[in-house]
């Protein structure tokens, strides 16, 4: 779909199901095709369907070229196998364009000296297509190409590649209307691809070839796509030519821009001078997988093997790997100099026809299960159970491990293990020698006697010039220098966007960080540090085709935030191959705009000259400013040099170091790296810190230590910014431009910040210069009035009179409180006017709108306020972050008026589920499910009217949270089902949502857990949120919430408060436009929140497309909050954001205050509705014509804004559905639970013991949740007595087997399961065992998938085999036995017991704060490096422990007939010696404290 | 911000007073300062609020959290810079301000607010002691001349700011000493006059010219003001309110201001004929405000036989009432140090008549108790309660009934418009009168008000004058949108 309104196609995402199947004996069979099609059908739930219900997001398969079949069906003769190539070609429908494309392609083939053997029309049955697919269906033909000359295979392939690339470029540039129909899915001498936007079950019927029984193959790669948009295209269906992918490449933007740079210096013997015609290698506007495939394809022509290419592009996390071989590390380090990682959650099956294999990303974020059969089949797929295999035929069940490769040599007919293939590849060249010889480390560069330049003007003047305030020094810089961490803030941000601010802004402030939500996960760089790295290599790049030691002649910097001394070293570096030149980024102040523009151009000229002199490190420096010479914003200079030199094709020759006084916050550094810097020296901050130490504001350390602390804090901050978007290494982040600009005009962006989204126009170079001028005026006042204050006081983070304006200020807070307390309409009016009337002082985008097309009606005709408030909700604030008093107050108020309050993350005291005696209800209507899953049980979910999945939160999208142990008081712990005084971590990602199909799965899980509740998905506004919302609608959420970046009550790093995410106006409008365009709007309710404060705010939100509205800060203020912004310190003086007993007594809010607030808001809204002519709110939704954005704006910065894209109406908008009109079809009717429900009547209602049995398949998902829901409804959280309902299943269970299983259920599964076994387990017993008939060794085979027992609260699990990654993540009470696990086992665990009888992966117990784990470790591998010992200690196993351990293992043997268990028990004393007990330090302390501090429970009992 | 939990751990500590017996023997200030260490601790009670309402409640916009932080850190000099960046004369406000900041202090919601005023006083006193407060004469002169009429806090603030901008400033004062009401209207025991002199020395050293005993429009012709490029009228609101009842002409019925002024003049050896004394008299002070309280303190120092105070309004509640919610100025009972020195306070009492003897000497007061009838939407009505008449023996009745507005002399002579309340007319924030080069500030513009408002208006008016003269101004200004809107 084309760019329109706020919708930008480049932000579409896709995730999927993928797999392959092959015959290890090299036999070609038709069965493989059948199996492949079956896999597709069985993965259907991982794919997406368009609004027409028939057009899939894309499905396809890649197979061997069926030589014999083609010989039969082609009416021309074809040479021997591998002597010809077959192209699958999509062509235009219009006949002259069709011929045009054919001719061009043929011509290019001929130029390459190849012969066209003939075209074959591919027989298809178009009846199988949905409306959308049919509309874009191409003519599909196959082209057979032969060699003319005797050329080797590599040359043949290269010629095919060149011909195809050039034909593609030619046709793309030809401007014919159907040029986008022309696409060549495959052009190969070995493989061919059949794909389209077809439902999986239709792909066979559509491509008639696939039904022919003589169509045979050895291998098949299959793919089923789920894209977030619903205008899928034929060409983006997968597989691609060499690979397909399940996941998402988060680093794509950086990779693409780096590839553009690489093209500058590409040279190749095989392509010769025509190589220039191949560019761009990556066609613009394609998906991440398509782009990656294009690079893989290029690299196959560089003499690297396919497995080597995959290792180069998706390296393992080698940097911090303790046990990896030296040779392998050298390989990765060497290749790191050539290619940055393509990083993100990705399982990538690949093939070139000879090899077929798959690789998993460094963090193991996608499931990849495989089965090898005795009969010689290998099936690898996102799920197990996709092809029926008899248990006795199974030779091995395995899974792909993080960063690991899995390869089959089709010609040898064998599986090559990761170790073997990688050892072979890494030993092909002497990488270590090359590195030792050529690699330079910064620490090895000698210090110089040069001291850093001395500034001629005084420090205070310079600080004013660079916009420093007291607040910057006190609140931003000093804390970082003191503790090496960024300071926290609370209560969101309510200051104007940079473009609306009167105060001069650093240009970084116009940039908003993008972050991952839904389609890809953010990372946890703290707990999963092993996968992160911020080191960078500096120096000249080299031709990617050459594989020589020169490639790694680079300077390696460990932390690219460098000190003055390090910078001096580099400045005067005198080592072969390295030469640095400093270029001043200053302009002549008096020349104004022209001076600035000329200076920028001049910098580029200077860089070019420096390059001629063989410099390869360019230091851009703003030192040396004066009254005459002004600094060019470092980010502007950096980005311009980065892009302009690329335009000049010289970017490969150097790297950029920034020496600037500007950067002080992590965000400033992040933007610099994001636009191409390779190191930054913040010299002014260094100076300030040294002064702060001298003056005694920083004590307890010397100056250098304080500076180092700051640099470390920035390093961590950048890591956090990267992790937000799911990027692990700075190497991949550098130059990636993962930002959206708010408030730059497009001309300016195009020249200086190309490839970055900026959708509402705004300022340009002229205004930027004006802002610098303003800074000058402050720095050099006209007359010499002695100022008592040398700097501005600040006021960004806390209100100050002469500081930045805030929406919540003394007047608005006090007037709102006066209004609700004294029921005083006049005060409310003062409040609302102060917020609404932003004409004079622009603060928000909505403030720039005016109502238009008024059509007044009498106020009485407008629906009552009591109706309106039913659409109002209070924000998600957890009990724990706010006090019980404040939390319950909101709930009572909302329940009284029929609105909804939100539990927030952190469970809810179950006593609140019952009504109070006076009829009030303290039960939160909305129950949140966040990444920590605290207190999320079947019972909790059962008591919800709405269940909200928090994907991100406005205050800090892409980040997790932490409730430190001292705040986890007994009553908080109880609500969260955790241990008192044990810290709780909410990870950045939901560990069961790494992609869109995972979200669909969680929605399905929750819908099963409570069928009556609406499922709400909370997103935060950013560019691309529209496509995500469309994805969420397709994933069948009932409600999607678009949150503004500025809202949020929780604690958050200062950088995140201000610089991540966008105002809701943009996100909401984008979501509305995208949903409407895709005909998805009718299926979903759209909600909006983020600094909503008045009826006018609600009116604007409704007109932009929202039908429900969330408020958090304002109702808190109505309850007494006075915006201390100290919520994270537990010192809230008004008893809201605190657990302090004494302070909580100060809470004076009442439900009436909150109700008064909503009454006033609704009444204000009613008046606006009457003016506009709407009787009901429903009529208003999406009526953007009632908003006028053309208000005359006088403000010099804001007048350049163009808000029309927010009000954009897609064609035929009027006739389209603009609001929610129907319910989602959740397809629950076929759920196995309903069958079980029918059969288990006696157990459920009469508590009789019952035994039932069912077969099970991978398409039976979330088995047990509905039964548990029924049990919870009747019996509450206690459920049924143990073993009341016993069910035996056989087969491969689908995802979320046993999810939220409640007490009384016992599931025994003979077979295996997919991911999320026992998610949210609430008391049930799960037994997973190897089928009796199978003869493989259970303890060596994988039996359950990833992320099992996530958020389990209670219950037992006995697993007779190995589990995948992140076993028992965030377990808070379940007991589990398993015979082996993958990486990150017991991550964030807070309670329960986990017993591992076999091998573990890396990073065991990361962030584990509670519970106990026992690991059988006879070879001491676990205790020597696999366990993350940051929060735990190894403890002696007491007799009591030993007895308990033995009992549990005995049960395991009893239930699963585990051989491993039996063996251990047989020699128990020896076995016991080999067990390691993992005890979290905090847990141990907490247990001691609980034992001694009985009185703390008082409160709990009282509650 | 000092200490995150400072407010929970440390209690408010105020200055103490010397004992009543001792202090009423003289006219000296009687506060006992806290130790530095204790002040530092008091500074750490500041919670560094996200919205510092104190900073908004202060008419000057004092950067209260910021100087509190510096005090907590022991950085007194920096605290002094911060304080002086918004306030020319913290030594006045630190002693005499009723401290609306403290009423707006967030900590005040739950317990005693931060002792902001006392911290302020300590900062400035420390600064004087250390010699940090030095004359800051302008680096260059603009050759513009300005006359400031009135040397009260508004006039002084305007003068200092204008002088700093390089203008040549002459301050006219009709009395014999500079300071306006600060000089003679405020009893010495509340502020010793050396405090003013100390500051005037600085102002003089900065180049400001003071002309005392010069009453513009009386002994100095307004025409002579033409030599100035601009005028700033800061004459205050000095017309006292009287009580137009029978016997007002009695000997012994005296305006409080006269009584107080005389006493202060005497203290400084000025000649005062027939000073009104309260010694051995039954004194009744009519009016329950600050001036009334000053009269009580002075009467007790004179050695009155008895001191009684009347107030026509009801006795306010002992604590903030729901109808005047935080952070607004609360209606609540105020007991000053003077009250503690001995007085009988009466509320809801109206004086009906001054009874005099044959010589016309006051001998008693006749009163009646009253109540207020409040009908929403109407002005409250005063109702006398029949049968509550009472006669009070009295030798000296001091009228502390406030001021009705500025004297009109200057306005008449200069042709300046006045508003409905007889104040000199100029918009808040602009300070410009109907005559473009004439500005007005302080009580003369806003009616009787607080010292802190006078300083604030003087500063802001100075900036407006500077803009008027120069087209722009580098003088600091407070963002008036930050003023806490009244209830």
**Sign, CA torsion B251/B252/B253/B255:** positive
Contact call for B328 and A811, based on CB within 8 A: no
The Cα–Cα gap between A1053 and A1488 comes to 32
Domain residue ranges in chain B: 6-130, 145-238+404-470, 242-401
pLDDT over 70 at A490, yes or no:
yes
Tokens of B451: 């010292």
The predicted pLDDT at position A1193 comes to 78
- Are A307 and A355 contacting, i.e. CB atoms less than 8 angstroms apart? yes
Neighbours of B249 (CB within 10 A): 10
Q: Phi and psi at residue B423, in whole multiples of 5°? A: -75, 155
What are A922-967's pLDDT values in tens digits? 999 999 999 999 999 999 999 999 999 999 988 888 888 888 888 8
Tokens of A904: 């927030």
**Which of A331-335, A457-461, B58-62, B339-343 bottoms out in mean pLDDT, i.e. has the lowest?**
A457-461
pLDDT band per the 50, 70, 90 thresholds, residue A1494: low
pLDDT over 90 at B267, yes or no:
yes
User: For B327, which of A697, A814, A1123 is closest by C-beta distance?
Assistant: A814
What are B161-215's pLDDT values in tens digits? 999 999 999 999 999 999 999 999 999 999 999 999 999 999 999 999 999 999 9
Percent pLDDT > 70 in chain A is: 98
Higher local confidence (pLDDT), A321 or A1394: A1394
What are A1126-1146's pLDDT values in tens digits? 888 889 999 999 988 899 999
CA atoms within 13 A on the CB side of A407: 24
The Cα–Cα gap between B121 and A1045 comes to 43
Q: DSSP class of residue B309?
A: E
**ipTM over the 0.90 cut-off:** yes
State yes or no: cis peptide before A360, omega within 30 of 0.
no
Residues of chain A neighbouring B327 (CB-CB closer than 8 A): 810, 814
A136: helix, strand or coil: coil
The predicted pLDDT at position A1369 comes to 96
How far off is chain A from B13, nearest CA to CA, in Å?
A: 19
- Are A425 and A309 contacting, i.e. CB atoms less than 8 angstroms apart? no
The Cα–Cα gap between A1458 and A92 comes to 60
The predicted pLDDT at position A1500 comes to 46
User: Alpha helix (H) ranges present in B132-255?
Assistant: 153-164, 181-184, 194-205
The Cα–Cα gap between B469 and A1133 comes to 48
Residues of chain B neighbouring A806 (CB-CB closer than 8 A): 51
Name the β-bridge partners of B32: B16
The Cα–Cα gap between A1235 and A1231 comes to 8
Contact call for B47 and A1124, based on CB within 8 A: yes
What are A518-539's pLDDT values in tens digits? 888 899 888 888 889 999 999 9
Tokens of A778: 């402050």
Angle between helix A1439-1456 and A1459-1466 (nearest 10): 140
Q: DSSP class of residue A1405?
A: T
Q: Which residue has the tokens 């301000």?
A: B97
Q: Burial, B216: exposed, middle or buried (Cβ in 10 Å; 0-12, 13-18, 19+)?
A: buried
Could you tell me whether strands A872-876 and A1108-1111 are parallel, antiparallel, or unpaired per DSSP bridges? parallel
pLDDT band per the 50, 70, 90 thresholds, residue A1155: very high
Residues of chain A neighbouring B110 (CB-CB closer than 8 A): 1133-1134, 1143, 1146
Could you tell me whether strands A246-247 and A346-351 are parallel, antiparallel, or unpaired per DSSP bridges? antiparallel
Residues of chain B neighbouring A503 (CB-CB closer than 8 A): none
Minimum CA–CA partner of B85 in chain A = A788
Rounded alpha-carbon distances, angstroms, from residue A808 to A800, A963, A1017, A1093, A1113: 12, 27, 28, 10, 9
pLDDT band per the 50, 70, 90 thresholds, residue A840: low
Q: pTM for the full model? A: 0.94
The Cα–Cα gap between A1389 and A1391 comes to 6
The Cα–Cα gap between B306 and B290 comes to 19
Percent pLDDT > 90 in chain B is: 91
- Which CATH code is given to the segment(s) B145-238+404-470? 3.50.50.60
Neighbours of B482 (CB within 10 A): 21
What are A1476-1492's pLDDT values in tens digits? 999 999 999 999 888 88
The Cα–Cα gap between A24 and A657 comes to 52
Name the β-bridge partners of A360: A347
Neighbours of A966 (CB within 10 A): 10
**Best residue of A464, A778, A788 to probe chain B, by most B CBs closer than 10 Å:** A788
The predicted pLDDT at position A1503 comes to 39
Find, among A1056, A987, A978, A980, the residue nearest to A1020 by Cα.
Answer: A1056
Name the β-bridge partners of A963: A984
Query: What would the mean pLDDT of A897-922 be, rounded to a whole number?
Result: 94
Query: What would the mean pLDDT of A231-255 be, rounded to a whole number?
Result: 88
Own/partner long-range contacts of B338-341 (Cβ < 8 Å, ≥24 apart): B338/B293, B338/B294, B338/B296, B338/B297, B338/B300, B339/B293, B339/B296, B339/B309, B340/B17, B340/B20, B341/B20, B341/B23, B341/B24, B341/B296, B341/B297, B341/B300
CA atoms within 13 A on the CB side of A757: 23
pLDDT over 70 at B2, yes or no:
no
The predicted pLDDT at position A786 comes to 66
Could you tell me whether strands A405-409 and A984-986 are parallel, antiparallel, or unpaired per DSSP bridges? unpaired
Contact call for B50 and A817, based on CB within 8 A: no
Phi-psi region of B179 (alpha: psi -120 to 50; beta: other; left: phi over 0): left
Overall CATH class of domain B6-130: mainly alpha
Minimum CA–CA partner of B485 in chain A = A811
The predicted pLDDT at position A57 comes to 85
A656: helix, strand or coil: strand
Q: Which residue has the tokens 């036995």?
A: A1377
The predicted pLDDT at position B22 comes to 93
Whether B242-401 and B6-130 are alike in CATH topology: the answer is: no
Q: Phi and psi at residue A1087, in whole multiples of 5°? A: -120, 155
- Are A1398 and A1459 contacting, i.e. CB atoms less than 8 angstroms apart? no
The predicted pLDDT at position A1083 comes to 94
Contact call for B8 and A1142, based on CB within 8 A: yes
Return mean pLDDT, chain B.
Answer: 94
Q: Which residue has the tokens 């991978």?
A: A1258
Find, among A1285, A1437, A1436, A1447, the residue nearest to A1358 by Cα.
Answer: A1447
Angle ∠(A309,A315,A317) on CA atoms, nearest 5: 170
- Are A475 and A692 contacting, i.e. CB atoms less than 8 angstroms apart? no
The predicted pLDDT at position A90 comes to 97
What are A370-426's pLDDT values in tens digits? 999 999 999 999 999 999 999 999 999 999 999 999 899 999 989 999 999 999 999
pLDDT band per the 50, 70, 90 thresholds, residue B487: low
Find, among A1145, A1131, A971, A939, the residue nearest to A1051 by Cα.
Answer: A1131
Find, among B284, B297, B303, B125, the residue nearest to B199 by Cα.
Answer: B125
The predicted pLDDT at position A93 comes to 94
Find, among A1008, A1014, A1092, the residue nearest to A1047 by Cα.
Answer: A1092
Query: What would the mean pLDDT of B284-294 be, rounded to a whole number?
Result: 95
For residue B286, give every residue at least 6 positions away whose Cβ sits within 8 Å of its Cβ, in sequence order, or none: B243, B292, B309, B310, B351, B397, B398, B399, B400, B401
Contact call for A787 and B476, based on CB within 8 A: yes
- Are A1471 and A1465 contacting, i.e. CB atoms less than 8 angstroms apart? yes
pLDDT band per the 50, 70, 90 thresholds, residue A229: low
pLDDT over 90 at A287, yes or no:
no
The predicted pLDDT at position A1501 comes to 44
Query: What would the mean pLDDT of A912-921 be, rounded to a whole number?
Result: 95
The predicted pLDDT at position A1210 comes to 79
The domain made up of B242-401 is a member of CATH 3.50.50.60:
yes
The predicted pLDDT at position A1502 comes to 45
User: For A1146, which of B75, B85, B110 is closest by C-beta distance?
Assistant: B110
E-assigned strand segments in A1137-1249: 1187-1188
How far off is chain B from A803, nearest CA to CA, in Å?
A: 9
DSSP secondary structure string for all residues of B134-151: -----SS----EEEEE--
How far off is chain B from A1134, nearest CA to CA, in Å?
A: 7
Angle ∠(A874,A875,A876) on CA atoms, nearest 5: 130
The predicted pLDDT at position A150 comes to 87
pLDDT over 60 at B107, yes or no:
yes
Contact call for B7 and A817, based on CB within 8 A: no
For residue A1362, give every residue at least 6 positions away whose Cβ sits within 8 Å of its Cβ, in sequence order, or none: A399, A1339, A1340, A1341, A1342, A1343, A1378, A1379, A1380, A1381, A1382, A1398, A1399
E-assigned strand segments in A1199-1284: 1250-1256
Tokens of B150: 């009135």
Contact call for B482 and A806, based on CB within 8 A: no
Find, among A713, A712, A709, A687, the residue nearest to A700 by Cα.
Answer: A709
CA dihedral of residues A1353, A1359, A1361, A1363 (deg, nearest 10): -10
Contact call for A821 and B325, based on CB within 8 A: yes
Known active-site residue A1386:
no
pLDDT band per the 50, 70, 90 thresholds, residue A1: low
What are A1221-1243's pLDDT values in tens digits? 999 998 899 899 999 999 999 99
Residues of chain A neighbouring B328 (CB-CB closer than 8 A): 814, 818
pLDDT over 80 at A1048, yes or no:
no
**Active-site pick, A16, A244, A638, A1386:** A16
The Cα–Cα gap between B153 and A748 comes to 52
């Amino acid at each position: 779909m084309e760019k329109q309104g706020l919708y930008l196609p480049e932000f579409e995402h896709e995730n999927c199901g993928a797999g392959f199947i092959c015959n290890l004996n090299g036999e070609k069979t038709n069965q493989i095709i059948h199996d492949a099609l079956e896999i597709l059908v069985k993965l259907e739930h991982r794919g997406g369907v368009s609004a027409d219900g028939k057009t899939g997001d894309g499905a396809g398969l890649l197979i061997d070229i069926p030589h014999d079949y083609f010989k039969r069906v082609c009416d021309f003769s074809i040479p021997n196998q591998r002597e010809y190539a077959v192209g699958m070609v999509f062509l235009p429908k219009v006949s002259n364009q069709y011929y045009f494309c054919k001719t061009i392609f043929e011509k290019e083939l001929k130029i390459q000296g190849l012969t066209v053997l003939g075209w074959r029309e591919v027989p298809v049955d178009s009846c199988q297509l949905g409306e959308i697919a049919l509309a874009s269906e191409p003519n599909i033909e196959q082209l057979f190409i032969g060699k003319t000359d005797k050329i080797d295979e590599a040359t043949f392939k290269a010629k095919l590649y060149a011909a195809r690339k050039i034909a593609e470029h030619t046709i793309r540039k030809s401007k014919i209307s159907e040029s986008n129909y022309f696409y060549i899915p495959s052009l190969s001498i070995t493989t061919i691809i059949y794909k389209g936007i077809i439902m999986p079950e239709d792909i066979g019927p559509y491509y008639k070839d696939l039904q022919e029984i003589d169509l045979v193959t050895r291998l098949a790669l299959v793919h089923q796509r789920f894209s977030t948009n619903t205008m899928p295209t034929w060409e983006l269906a997968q597989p691609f030519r060499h690979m397909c992918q399940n996941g998402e490449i988060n680093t794509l933007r950086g990779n693409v821009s780096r590839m553009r740079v690489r093209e500058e210096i590409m040279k190749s013997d095989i392509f010769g001078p025509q190589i220039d015609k191949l560019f761009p290698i990556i066609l613009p506007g394609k998906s991440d997988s398509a782009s990656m495939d294009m690079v893989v394809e290029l690299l196959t022509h560089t003499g690297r093997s396919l497995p080597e290419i995959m290792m180069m592009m998706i390296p393992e996390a080698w940097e911090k790997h303790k046990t990896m071989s030296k040779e392998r590390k050298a390989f990765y380090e060497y290749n790191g100099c050539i290619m940055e990682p393509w990083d993100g959650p990705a399982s990538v099956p690949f093939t070139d026809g000879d090899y077929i294999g798959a690789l998993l990303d460094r963090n193991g974020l996608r499931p990849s299960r495989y089965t090898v059969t005795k009969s010689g089949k290998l099936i690898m797929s996102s799920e197990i159970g996709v092809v029926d295999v008899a248990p006795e035929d199974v030779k091995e069940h395995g899974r792909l491990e993080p960063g690991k490769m899995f390869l089959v040599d089709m010609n040898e007919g064998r599986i090559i293990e990761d170790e073997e293939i990688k050892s072979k590849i890494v030993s092909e060249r002497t990488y270590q020698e090359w590195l030792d010889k050529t690699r330079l480390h910064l620490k090895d560069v000698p210090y110089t006697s040069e001291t850093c330049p001395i500034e001629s003007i005084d420090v205070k003047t310079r600080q004013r010039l660079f916009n420093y305030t007291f607040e910057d020094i006190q609140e931003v810089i000093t804390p970082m220098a003191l503790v090496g961490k960024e300071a926290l803030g609370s209560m969101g941000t309510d200051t104007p966007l940079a473009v609306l601010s009167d105060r001069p802004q650093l240009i970084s402030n116009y940039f908003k960080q993008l972050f991952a939500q839904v389609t890809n996960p953010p990372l946890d760089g703290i707990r999963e540090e092993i996968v992160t790295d911020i080191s960078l290599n500096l120096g000249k790049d080299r031709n990617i085709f050459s594989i020589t030691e020169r490639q790694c002649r680079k300077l390696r910097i460990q932390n690219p935030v460098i000190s003055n001394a390090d910078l001096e070293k580099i400045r005067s570096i005198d080592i072969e191959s390295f030469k640095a030149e400093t270029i001043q980024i200053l302009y002549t102040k008096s020349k104004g705009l022209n001076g600035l523009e000329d200076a920028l151009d001049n910098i580029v000229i200077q860089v070019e000259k420096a390059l001629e002199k063989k410099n390869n490190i360019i230091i851009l420096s703003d030192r040396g400013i004066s009254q005459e010479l002004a600094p060019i914003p470092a980010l502007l200079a950096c980005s311009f040099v980065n892009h302009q030199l690329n335009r000049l094709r010289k970017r490969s020759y150097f790297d950029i170091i920034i020496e600037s006084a500007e950067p002080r916050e992590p965000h400033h550094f992040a933007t610099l790296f994001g636009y191409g810097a390779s190191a930054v020296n913040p010299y002014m901050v260094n100076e300030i810190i040294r002064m702060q130490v001298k003056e005694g504001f920083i004590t307890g350390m010397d100056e250098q230590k304080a500076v180092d602390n700051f640099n470390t804090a920035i390093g961590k901050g950048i890591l956090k910014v990267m992790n937000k978007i799911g990027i692990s290494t700075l190497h991949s982040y550098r130059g990636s431009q993962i930002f959206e600009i708010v408030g730059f005009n497009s001309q300016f962006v195009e020249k200086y910040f190309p490839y970055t989204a900026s959708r509402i126009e705004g300022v340009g170079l002229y205004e930027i210069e004006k802002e610098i001028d303003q800074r000058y005026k402050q720095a050099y006042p006209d007359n010499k009035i002695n100022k008592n204050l040398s700097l501005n006081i600040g006021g960004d983070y806390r209100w100050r009179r002469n500081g930045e304006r805030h929406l919540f200020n003394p007047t608005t807070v006090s007037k709102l409180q006066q209004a609700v307390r004294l029921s005083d309409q006049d005060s409310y009016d003062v409040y609302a006017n102060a917020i609404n009337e932003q004409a004079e002082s622009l603060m928000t985008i909505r403030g720039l709108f005016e109502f238009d097309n008024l059509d007044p009606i009498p106020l009485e005709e407008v629906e009552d306020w009591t109706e309106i408030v039913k659409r109002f909700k209070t924000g998600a604030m957890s009990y724990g972050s706010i006090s019980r008093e404040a939390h319950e107050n909101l709930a009572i108020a909302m329940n009284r008026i029929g609105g909804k309050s939100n539990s927030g993350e952190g469970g809810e005291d179950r006593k609140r589920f019952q009504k109070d005696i006076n009829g009030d209800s303290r039960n939160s209507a909305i129950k949140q499910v966040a990444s920590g899953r605290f207190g999320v049980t079947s019972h909790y979910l059962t008591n919800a009217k709405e269940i909200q999945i928090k994907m991100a939160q406005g205050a800090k999208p892409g980040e997790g949270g932490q409730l430190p142990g001292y705040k986890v008081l007994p009553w908080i712990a109880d609500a969260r089902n955790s241990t008192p005084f044990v810290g709780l971590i909410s990870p950045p990602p939901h560990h069961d949502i790494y992609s869109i199909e995972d979200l669909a799965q969680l929605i399905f899980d929750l819908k099963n857990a409570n069928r009556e509740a609406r499922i709400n998905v909370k997103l935060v506004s950013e560019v691309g949120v529209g496509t995500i919302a469309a994805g969420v609608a397709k994933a069948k959420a009932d409600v999607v919430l678009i949150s503004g970046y500025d809202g949020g009550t929780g604690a958050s790093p200062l950088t995140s408060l201000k610089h991540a995410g966008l105002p809701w106006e943009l996100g909401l409008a984008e979501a509305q436009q995208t949903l409407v365009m895709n005909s998805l709007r009718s299926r979903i309710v759209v909600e909006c929140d983020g600094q909503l404060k008045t009826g006018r705010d609600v009116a604007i939100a409704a007109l932009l497309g929202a039908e429900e509205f969330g408020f958090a800060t304002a109702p808190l203020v109505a309850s007494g909050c006075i915006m201390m912004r100290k919520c994270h310190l537990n010192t809230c003086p008004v008893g809201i954001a605190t657990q302090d007993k004494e302070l909580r007594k100060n809470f004076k809010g009442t439900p009436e205050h909150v109700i008064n607030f909503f009454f006033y808001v609704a009444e204000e809204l009613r008046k606006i509705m009457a003016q506009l002519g709407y009787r009901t709110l429903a009529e208003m939704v999406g009526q953007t014509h009632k908003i006028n954005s053309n208000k005359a704006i006088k403000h010099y910065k804001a007048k350049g804004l163009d808000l029309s894209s927010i009000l954009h109406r897609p064609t035929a908008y009027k006739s389209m559905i603009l609001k929610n009109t129907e319910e989602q079809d959740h397809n629950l009717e076929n759920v196995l639970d309903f069958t079980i429900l029918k059969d288990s009547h006696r157990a459920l209602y009469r508590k009789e013991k019952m035994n039932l049995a069912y077969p099970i398949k991978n398409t039976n998902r979330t088995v047990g949740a509905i039964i548990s829901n029924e049990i919870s409804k009747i019996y509450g959280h206690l459920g049924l007595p143990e073993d009341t309902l016993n069910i035996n299943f056989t087969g491969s269970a689908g995802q979320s087997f046993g999810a939220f299983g409640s007490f009384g259920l016992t599931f025994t599964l003979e077979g295996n399961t997919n991911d999320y076994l026992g998610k949210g387990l609430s008391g049930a017993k799960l037994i997973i065992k190897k089928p009796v008939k199978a003869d493989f060794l259970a303890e060596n085979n994988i039996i359950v998938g990833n992320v099992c027992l996530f958020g389990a609260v209670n219950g037992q699990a006995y697993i007779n085999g190995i589990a995948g990654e992140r076993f028992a993540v965030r377990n808070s009470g379940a007991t589990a036995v398993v015979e082996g696990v993958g990486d990150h086992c017991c991550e964030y665990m807070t309670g329960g017991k986990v017993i591992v009888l076999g091998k573990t992966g890396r990073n065991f117990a990361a962030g584990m704060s509670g519970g106990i784990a026992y690991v059988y470790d006879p070879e001491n591998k676990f205790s020597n490096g696999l366990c993350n010992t940051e929060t735990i200690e190894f403890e002696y196993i007491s007799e009591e422990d030993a007895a308990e351990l033995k009992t549990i293992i005995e049960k395991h043997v009893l239930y699963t007939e585990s051989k491993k268990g039996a063996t251990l028990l047989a020699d128990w004393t020896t076995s016991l010696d080999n067990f390691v007990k993992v005890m979290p330090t905090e847990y141990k302390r907490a247990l001691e404290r609980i034992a001694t501090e009985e009185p703390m429970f008082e409160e709990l009992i009282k509650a | 911000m000092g200490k995150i939990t400072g407010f929970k751990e440390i209690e408010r500590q105020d200055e103490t007073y010397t004992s009543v017996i001792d202090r009423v023997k003289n006219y000296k200030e009687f506060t006992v300062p806290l130790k530095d260490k204790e002040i530092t601790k008091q500074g750490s009670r500041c919670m560094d609020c996200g919205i510092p309402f104190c900073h908004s409640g202060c008419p000057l916009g004092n950067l209260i959290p910021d100087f509190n932080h510096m005090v907590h850190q022991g950085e007194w000099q920096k605290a002094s810079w911060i304080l002086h960046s918004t306030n020319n004369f913290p030594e006045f406000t630190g002693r005499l301000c009723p401290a609306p900041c403290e009423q707006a202090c967030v900590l005040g919601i739950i317990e005693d607010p931060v002792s902001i005023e006392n911290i302020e006083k300590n900062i400035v006193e420390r600064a004087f002691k250390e010699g940090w407060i030095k004359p800051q004469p302008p680096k260059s002169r603009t050759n513009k001349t300005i006359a400031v009429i009135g040397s009260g806090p508004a006039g002084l603030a305007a003068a200092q700011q204008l002088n700093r901008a390089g203008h040549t400033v002459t301050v006219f004062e009709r009395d014999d000493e500079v300071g306006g009401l600060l000089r003679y209207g405020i009893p010495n025991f509340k502020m010793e006059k050396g405090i003013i002199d100390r500051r005037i020395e600085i102002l003089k050293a900065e180049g400001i010219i003071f002309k005392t005993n010069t009453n513009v429009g009386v002994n100095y012709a307004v025409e002579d003001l033409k030599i100035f490029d601009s005028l700033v009228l800061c004459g205050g609101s000095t017309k006292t309110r009287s009580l137009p009842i029978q016997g007002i002409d009695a000997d012994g019925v005296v305006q409080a201001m006269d009584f107080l002024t005389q006493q202060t003049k005497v203290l400084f050896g000025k000649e005062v004929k027939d000073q009104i004394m309260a010694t051995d008299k039954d004194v009744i002070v009519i009016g329950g405000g600050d001036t009334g309280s000053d009269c009580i303190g002075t009467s007790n120092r004179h050695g009155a036989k008895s001191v009684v105070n009347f107030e026509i309004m009801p006795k306010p509640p002992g604590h903030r009432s729901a109808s005047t919610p935080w952070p607004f100025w609360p209606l609540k009972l105020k007991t000053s140090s003077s009250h503690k020195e001995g007085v009988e306070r009466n509320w809801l009492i109206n004086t009906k008549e001054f009874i005099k003897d044959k010589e016309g000497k006051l001998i008693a007061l006749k009163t009646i108790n009253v109540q207020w009838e409040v009908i929403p939407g109407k002005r409250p009505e005063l109702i006398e309660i029949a049968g509550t008449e009472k006669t009070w023996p009295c030798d000296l009745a001091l009228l502390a009934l406030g001021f009705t507005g500025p004297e009109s002399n200057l306005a008449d002579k200069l042709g300046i418009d006045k508003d409905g309340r007889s104040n000199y007319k100029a918009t808040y924030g602009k300070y410009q009168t109907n005559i473009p080069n004439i500005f007005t500030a302080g009580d003369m513009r806003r009616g009787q008000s607080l010292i802190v408002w006078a300083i604030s208006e003087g500063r802001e008016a100075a900036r407006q004058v500077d803009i008027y003269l120069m087209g722009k101004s580098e003088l600091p200004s407070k963002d008036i949108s930050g003023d806490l809107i009244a209830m």
